[in-house]
Amino acid sequence: MNRRQFGGLIAATATVGPAGLAVADDKKPQAGEDKFPVMHNGRRPEIGMLLYPGMTLMDLLGPQTVLSTSCNVHLVWKNTELIESDSGVILKPTGKLGDCPKDLDVLFVGGGPGQLAVMSDPEVLKFMADRGARAKYVTSVCTGSLILGAAGLLRGYKATSHWAFHDALALFGATPVTARVVTDRNRISGGGVTAGIDFGLTLLAKMLGDDMAKMTQLALEYDPQPPFDAGTPKKAGKEIIKKMEEWVGPFGGKMTASCVAAAKVMGEYTPEKK
């Protein structure tokens, strides 16, 4: 998982092996790899990201793409069977929860309809609370912050979420903030879905410096030019919101009910309560 992504893209040094899996031309550190400062005396940061069935893959892939070139990223779930994202992408975790390093630089979780099951799953919440208690940064994108909340990791912290679910953060003792990326001590949360790219670059700069973040932004040609200006409820306007509600049904519903239920048992899984 340590492949140097945009090294591969830009220099095009990767080839495809007989097993059909992409492999680097050689396994030795490539040109310049050890020239760039990395945190903790040359160690690549360890990133633990939670996969789950029904996740919104884009929540995770923004930061995963940004971080994977310079960090070791672990994509973990309860087992390593295939899972399906909410948009129909079929994925295989790189390891089980127990395979994730115990002392992480970053614990990350994104959102998605599958989180209704995750927020009432003791095994997963216990994992999140355990790794979150020791991780250097405890992070989320979109409604992933509600999973952090359910694991008791946002009590007394400011945080953000997808715009439609801000209020639910308060159920977990967090203070909802409307912003693209919210940092409160070592908790960093991003807004809905596409905020993961902005979140990822913000986090990367904190860990490995502004220049590394800028090089990554350049490699990913992240110079956004949306063809419309409808990315927030205010900018989209009442007519678009009304059409959207007509199309997908009223917002909230089961997600809020799941948060209420999860908040009732919040803290059961935190290390200090064991």
CB of 274 to a copy of itself, least distance (A): 27
Of 83, 93, 92, give the one whose Cα is nearest residue 54: 83
- Residue 125 binding a copy of itself, by CB under 8 A: no
Distance, CA of 34 to CA of 44 (rounded, Å): 10
Residue 145 binding a copy of itself, by CB under 8 A: no
- Taking CB under 8 A as the rule, does residue 261 contact a copy of itself? no
Q: Which of 28, 254, 273, 274 binds a copy of itself (CB under 8 A)?
A: 254
Residue pointed to by tokens 């990791």: 153
Rounded Cα distance, 112 and 86, in Å: 7
Our measurement of the distance from residue 101's CA atom to the centroid of its chain's CA atoms, rounded to an integer in Å, reads 17
Among candidate residues 67, 53, 73, 7, the one with its CA nearest the CA of residue 206: 67
Nearer to a copy of itself, 147 or 213 (CB): 213
Distance CA 231, CA 223 (A): 16
Least separation in angstroms between CB 206 and a copy of itself: 10
Q: Under a CB-based contact definition with an 8 Å cutoff, are residues 48 and 68 in contact?
A: no
**Among the residue ranges 91-99, 130-138, 149-157, 263-271, the one whose residues contact a copy of itself (CB under 8 A):** 91-99
Using rule CB under 8 A, residue 249 touches a copy of itself = yes
CB of 271 to a copy of itself, least distance (A): 27
Catalytic residues: 142
Please tell me whether residue 6 binds a copy of itself under the rule CB under 8 A. Answer: yes
Q: Which two tokens stand for residue 171?
A: 């159920």
- Select 56 or 270, whichever has its Cβ closest to a copy of itself: 56
CA distance 140 to 124: 15
* Distance in angstroms (rounded) separating the CA atoms of residues 21 and 229: 39
Of residues 153-212, those binding a copy of itself (CB under 8 A):
162-164, 180-181, 191-195, 197-198, 201-202, 205, 210-211
- Applying the rule CB under 8 A, the residues between 19 and 38 that interact with a copy of itself are 20-22, 30-33, 35-36
Q: Helix or strand or coil: residue 138?
A: strand
Q: Establish if 7 lies at the interface with a copy of itself (CB under 8 A).
A: yes
CB 135 → a copy of itself: shortest distance, Å?
20
